[in-house]
Structure 1
């Protein structure tokens, strides 16, 4: 399941983050964080995770994602990694790849399985040319280029790439989460059910039927979830 979540960050929040990112001198070659195969196709810059800028802004992104109700409903996060900040410019790109299935979390002190990938755009579409995120699934290729402050969630099993940025600068935060529900199809069903319950409750209130439907949701989560 792919999900576009608009306005996770306000324009003011984006502006404040961009001011810090643009002023930072702590950008390093992005291939340093990639696996041996991905290093050959990853051409971007990445904010040094040991820098003061990173340590200042990463918690802001993490907290915002953890608290957003659509991220919670769609991801059902068990663990979420601290984000990385990437910059693509001067024909920077990232060729076709699948994200590492397991990544280490410094905060947790152990590795987590990556089930859901999240890209949070921090540049407006008119700030750069190219740079589309292309995600491939059973239904074909999907081109993603969102407003600053918007995010896209998609299965980490998806083959994807970032097209070359031929002008301007594309800055985004990326992170991954381990879901309580490993299977993407089951997560999708639970999300759709959760959204349906939310809409029906607004129309019908907490009727007996709504309580029954909500019980089904939680029983499915109980059956499929892994804590």
Structure 2
């Protein structure tokens, strides 16, 4: 499933991150692209260093503390965070993310995400477009908000025609490999919490709790 989280980062956190990025060195984004993605990737990425590691820690902490992210994704690991900059004329044409990525060990990409760092009013173009079976969906969120989507999809970043687009992209390996199974668990958890909020610990609540626990035992890869 595709969903967004508004205000994952606070205004103060955004300001701090953007101040660091304004003084940081960026390098050619092709350095982290696969052999075929290099043909369509035209952006810049934050150079590896102390500042990059500190910013990654801040983003990972924000995701770890977000209840919606934890329930919908059920992350096993967050890996390969990249701070990306698109200046005028830059884009990233249609591609699929690598299934396996190396970041402190080999990880599987189940869910991809884009965290927007600056306001959509600061640049034109630069939409994240995700291709579906019959239609495309484009996203350009407010600063501090994040869009999460299956890593299995074809997607692209449309050309920036004016201004600068700043984002963080990353990938998650979930303890639940199948996206449909993750969505089913999320729906059950949402229903369970609604029952509890309305009526407390009822027999229906207990049955759904049992189902969630047993599906996790059946599907989880830990």
Q: Tell me if both proteins adopt one fold, taking TM over 0.5 as the criterion.
A: yes
Structure 1 length as normaliser, TM-score? 0.94
- Extract unaligned runs of 5+ from structure 2: none
Q: Is the 8 A contact 1:87 1:170 kept in 2?
A: yes
Aligned counterpart, 2:13: 13
Does the CA-based 8 Å contact 1:58-1:82 persist in structure 2?
Answer: no
Does the Cα contact within 8 Å between 2:79 and 2:103 map onto a contact in 1? Answer: yes
Task: Note if contact 1:131-1:164 (Cα within 8 Å) is conserved in structure 2.
Answer: yes
* Equivalent position SS for 1:35: coil
Partner Cα distance (2:80, 2:121) in 1 = 28
**Among 46, 57, 60, which residue is 1:59 paired with?**
57
Structure 1 unaligned regions, length at least 5: none
Q: Where do 1:100-139 residues align within 5 Å?
A: 100-106=98-104, 110-139=105-134
For 1:93 and 1:123, locate their aligned partners in 2 and report how far apart those are by CA, in whole Å: 17
Deviation of residue 132 (structure 1)?
A: 0.2
Whether 1:155 aligns to 2:154 is no
User: What is the CA distance between 1:82 and its match in structure 2?
Assistant: 4.3
TM-score by length of 2: 0.96
**Is structure 2 residue 73 aligned with structure 1 residue 78?**
no
Moved over 4 A (4+): none
Q: Distance in 2 between matches of 1:143 and 1:190?
A: 26
Q: How far has the Cα of 1:200 moved from its partner?
A: 2.2
Contact 1:94 1:162 in 2 (8 A): yes
| Corresponding residue for residue 28 of structure 1 | 27
Q: What SS does the corresponding residue of 1:83 show, helix, strand or coil?
A: strand
Q: Size of the alignment, in residue pairs?
A: 222
